[in-house]
Amino acid sequence: MKSGDFGRALIMSSDLRGYGQGADKRHETMQHGFIDLHENAAARTGLNRHRWVIQQGGDGELAVLPADEPDPLVVDQYIRAIHQGLVDHNDGLAAEERLRLRVALAFGTAYPSANGYAGQAVVEASRLVDWRPLKKIFKKREDMNIVLILSQRVFEDVVQQGHTSYGIGDFHRVTIREKEFSGSAWIWSPEFRPEDLRLLSDSTDTKADDQAENLGTGTSQQAEVINNLSGPVDARRAVFGIGRK
């Protein structure tokens, strides 16, 4: 696909909690653990990450998935496999040694541009994973291994229509206001407790809270470029030129 060509794709953005608080060697360990989690989950569920177009970012990644990777498999078995990998890895570790992950999934416009990929789905996934109340949950709940946040469209098309093993009641609807992005999304975590709902209130965090998390936020809700993505050319062609209703 040429730069500027229109396309749609499932976008996954995932981010490790607490990466900025560690020393250099801790960063290396976390990066290896992060990659192992994703690759092992893909192997267990029959997904081919080698065909994904992936922007790596040290403490996370943004992936553009090919059209032939089934959305229900990604939303369901793949995420559950990552969670199980986190449980196994974190067993017996001190809180500061554990790996904990936020994952966002969005579907929509995504296409190659001059310096990476542009499109609303790329922006939406980035905003969802960076939503500040999710960071608040991880700060308050050290036993929580993973939080999944789905865009409204992914939830409606994949979960609500019965294509996964999730029940609708397993998710909690939230309203996102992150920079200039505003919309509904759906939260899932196996370790979620009813009292955590108050942490999902759409309140404005202080700058000190953001600095404590050592995680940045993005810019605005526009079709914009998100840094260079690396991946096979064939994967880029496989992702686009499809439509979903």
Domains and CATH numbers, the chain: 8-239 (3.30.70.1230)
pLDDT at position 6 is 76
**4 Ramachandran zone, left/alpha/beta (phi>0; psi -120 to 50):** left
Q: Does residue 27 surpass a pLDDT of 90?
A: no
First to last CA, the chain: 22
Name the percent of the chain in helix, strand, coil, to the closest 5: 40, 25, 35
Residues 6 or more apart whose Cβ sits within 8 Å of residue 111:
1, 4, 5, 6, 7, 117, 118, 119, 240
Burial category of 184 from C-beta neighbours within 10 Å (exposed 0-12, middle 13-18, buried 19 and up) = middle
pLDDT digits (tens, 9 = 90+) for 212-226: 444 343 333 344 444
Task: Single out the residue of 131, 127, 149 nearest to residue 204, CA to CA.
Answer: 131
Task: Single out the residue of 125, 136, 137 nearest to residue 185, CA to CA.
Answer: 125
**What value does the mean pLDDT take over residues 103-124?**
91
Task: Single out the residue of 189, 155, 196 nearest to residue 80, CA to CA.
Answer: 189
Dist. CA 26–CA 56, nearest whole Å: 17
The helix (run of H) or strand (run of E) holding residue 36 is helix 24-45
pLDDT digits (tens, 9 = 90+) for 30-42: 889 999 999 999 9
Quote the pTM value: 0.79
Q: Does residue 11 surpass a pLDDT of 70?
A: yes
User: In this structure, what are the phi and psi dihedrals at residue 48, rounded to the nearest 5 degrees?
Assistant: -115, 90
Tokens found for residue 215 = 């995680």
